[in-house]
Chain A
Amino acid sequence: NAGVTQTPKFRILKIGQSMTLQCAQDMNHNYMYWYRQDPGMGLKLIYYSVGAGITDKGEVPNGYNVSRSTTEDFPLRLELAAPSQTSVYFCASDSQGNTGELFFGEGSRLTVL
């Protein structure tokens, strides 16, 4: 049982490049989330999904897109990378969505130069 798996763990991008952060969970959880963590700022919610085919914006969605074609996968796409998107990104899942008991992936550290 792998839990929540994120790839890649590290990535360096040039300004304007695009990339997708992958997230997969094998716990059959309906709710999935993408957070970004910046020093001294805690975690900010980017996007979330309450089930396959349903996504919604969080606090800081600008510059990102998501899709949820299956229960297992919730990729996060950066279309035109900017230095402000340098951060650590965490994917998480929750079986019911209103418990707050999130299972987190190990994080993806992204640097935009």
Chain B
Amino acid sequence: AQSVSQHNHHVILSEAASLELGCNYSYGGTVNLFWYVQYPGQHLQLLLKYFSGDPLVKGIKGFEAEFIKSKFSFNLRKPSVQWSDTAEYFCAVITSSNTGKLIFGQGTTLQVKP
């Protein structure tokens, strides 16, 4: 079955530290990849997406992610985190065989200490 795995469940960083959250998916065909963010007390919102083209995609608030097809990965990065980045982050995928149904990873809780 298709799945998405996020390896870091809870990450604690100090402000200005660099961030990388891992995401791997299990599907050999065409995929669209996403990172969603859920700030405390808010609903999920799209952070960035990859459909095709340049495998390095940039999203809002200085986040970026790199699609590495050979590794089935779509890791999220930010060079310098801020306290306001404290949130839960979800990786998600739509596959060519599962059109219309977004499959989510387990989520990573990021806590940034001021």
Contact = CB atoms under 8 A, between A and B. Distances in A.
A101 B46 contact: yes
A48 interface: yes
A90 interface: yes
Nearest to B31: A100
Interface residues of A, number: 25
Contacts of B6: 42
Contacts of B36: 102
Contacts, number: 59
A17 to B, nearest CB: 26
A90 B99 contact: no
Contact of B102 (A41, A50, A100, A107): A100
B92 interface: yes
A2 to B, nearest CB: 12
A97 B104 contact: no
B100 A45 contact: no
Contacts of B34: 100-101
A38 B62 CA distance: 28
Interface in B77-104: 90, 92-94, 99-104
A74 interface: no
A105 B99 CA distance: 21
A104 B45 contact: yes
Contacts of B105: 42
Contact of A106 (B42, B90, B99, B102): B42
Contacts of B106: 40-42
A43 interface: yes
B90 A42 contact: yes
A107 to B, nearest CB: 6
Given A100-B32, A100-B34, A100-B94, A58 B102 contact: no
10 contacts: A40-B107, A42-B90, A50-B100, A58-B101, A90-B44, A92-B44, A99-B32, A100-B102, A104-B45, A107-B43
Interface of B: 4, 6, 9, 32, 34, 36, 42-46, 49, 90, 92-94, 99-107
